[in-house]
Structure 1
Amino acid sequence: MNPRRPLKTALLYLCLPIALGFTANVSSETEIAVGAYHFPPVAAIHDDNEAAGLLGELLAELEAAHQDVTFRIVHTSPQRRYLDFEAGLYDVIFFESLDWGWESRPVDATAPVLVDEDVYVALTKPGRDQSFFDNIADRNIVAISGYHYGFAGLSTNNAELQERFSIEFSHSHRRNLSLIKADRPSLAEVAVISRSYFRMYLEQNPEDSGRFLVSDVADQRYLLRILARKGGPISHKRLEQMLLPLIEQGRYQQMVRNHGLQQPADLPGH
């Protein structure tokens, strides 16, 4: 009999709880799959599936403050977001309006955490004023495929919208503004742009500040929330709790301002 065998056995049992404890700590970390699509300046998705904009900054702050949670970006699109959700590819999506097709889906929503609006943008021309936007349905429109618009009754069915309106779809606000600047009225007279994006665009392109006529009346104004799958790995209440310290410290509000966005008047905990 090897006299050293009992010692080895004893050491094995002494080490076992430590190893088990380490495993428990690793497995207690919750990975949250976050659906995200290009929605600047709220969110921009890079080729490496990393999020930028307000979403990227906020997720980094939440991960730093909560070591038991990690966020994994699932790149979707405005049109595909519902199919990807129904397929179980992600369980949380940030900065969505409940009016944007989520009413009948199994999600719980936080209180509003962001507010924005869409405006009509046309080329400045002599004699052109706000009356140019009176009958949007009579104009040649450029818009983003999959986005919800007030003038269209929030429908995202491109085929239906092209039957009802003279409308051109793209995947970029920048492209749509370029079409307006090109002064091709037979193709594009009015672009529908989020106010936050338009503000960011003018900051980056100050030489264009006088080139556009912007509607005084918004196409729609929307309150944006965080949506979590019912029965998913994290609840909307838990997400609100995670966000609350950043709001109380003023850190979240600063991030919102840095990206040219606006917080709702009744921001939770504020």
Structure 2
Amino acid sequence: MRSFFLWIFTVIAAGMAFGLPASKAVNADQMLDRIPVIVGGYRFEPYVDESGGVARKFIQLLNDHQSTYAFQFMEMPARRRYDLMREGRIDALLFEMMVWGWQDMADQVSVTKPLLTGSELFIALKPINGPTEHLFEGISTKRLALTLGYHYGFADFNADPDHLKARFDVVFSEFQRFSLRHVLAGTADLAVVNDAFLERENRRDIGLSHQVVASPKPDQCYQLPVMLRAGGPINLAEMTALLDALKTSGALRGFFEQESMGRFLVW
């Protein structure tokens, strides 16, 4: 019982400290007195894409619902994120897993509990008739469309392009949607995309589900937290309190439902 009341007090205090609830977008002048937090992001659709993606909108949500920090987005190549974090040029990453190359930097970063879940799937052209299971067998014999800088379960999470080329027949793209196009064009047998991206593309193109089929077994399953730089401007306890306050106010659920990603929310 004592721990329950302590939790209630923590959430209420966080809401007061972060100015929750709020509904109006902040302007530039209101951000001047806040502590800057640089949030890195690389193309990882639908989380980061050419129009901004879920990550930029989520940063706006964070800024609208507290008055202590000024979260600012900085786009970067996927393969540069480790150096930028090590050099202190970014303070946080949204939707990033430790297994994606951070094992050697475990003392330099911390992560919240998972915010979102999900998975990555193989996709192939759908045959006109017949079974599809065989399409995803014998990965080493297939031409694969992969995204540069991404970590894949079938490759033991080794993202080095030379390593992947040595083990598999691959064609690299900068973005997942280009990997999808390789499959549609017949220049690759398989591509690997995340389920949130595939759902978004199916909503945009209702005919896509008749063209491609997804593997019944995922290549990897996501547990996506917020990653923070050790010694950065916001620590793990403060970030956790902010997310808890957003959950309590309903803003967290409302945001991801609006983005058609409510089923992925696990916070």
TM-score after normalising by structure 2: 0.82
SS in structure 2 of the partner of residue 242 of structure 1: helix
Cα gap change, 1:45/1:104 in structure 2, threshold over 3 Å: closer, same or farther? farther
Structure 2 residue aligned with 1:61: 61
Q: How far does the alpha carbon of each residue in 1:211-250 deviate from its partner, in whole angstroms, 9 at most, with x for none? A: 1121000000010111111111110211111111211233
- 2:96 maps to amino acid: E
Which stretches in structure 1 are left out of the alignment for 5+ residues? 1-24, 47-51
**Among candidates 141, 146, 151, match of residue 143 of structure 1:** 146
Structure 2 residue aligned with 1:29: 34
Structure 2 residue aligned with 1:109: 111
Q: How far does the alpha carbon of each residue in 1:12-53 deviate from its partner, in whole angstroms, 9 at most, with x for none? A: xxxxxxxxxxxxx9986200111111112122355xxxxx32
Cα gap change, 1:27/1:249 in structure 2, threshold over 3 Å: closer, same or farther? closer
Question: Following the alignment from structure 1 to structure 2, what is the Cα–Cα distance between the partners of residues 192 and 216?
Answer: 13
Question: Following the alignment from structure 1 to structure 2, what is the Cα–Cα distance between the partners of residues 153 and 26?
Answer: 42
Structure 2 residue aligned with 1:133: 136
SS in structure 1 of the partner of residue 79 of structure 2: coil
Summarize the alignment of residues 155-174 of structure 1 with structure 2, pairs less than 5 Å apart. 155-174=158-177
Q: How far does the alpha carbon of each residue in 1:54-99 deviate from its partner, in whole angstroms, 9 at most, with x for none? A: 2122211211121221012222121111111122211111110111
Q: Note the aligned Cα RMSD (angstroms).
A: 1.9
**Among candidates 35, 45, 61, match of residue 40 of structure 1:** 45
Structure 2 residue aligned with 1:236: 236
CA contact (8 A) 1:92 1:227 kept: yes
Question: Following the alignment from structure 1 to structure 2, what is the Cα–Cα distance between the partners of residues 263 and 118?
Answer: 13
Question: Following the alignment from structure 2 to structure 1, what is the Cα–Cα distance between the partners of residues 185 and 240?
Answer: 44
Number of residue pairs matched?
Answer: 234
Structure 1 residue aligned with 2:198: 198
Structure 2 residue aligned with 1:88: 88
Q: Answer with 1 or 2: which has the greater Rg.
A: 1
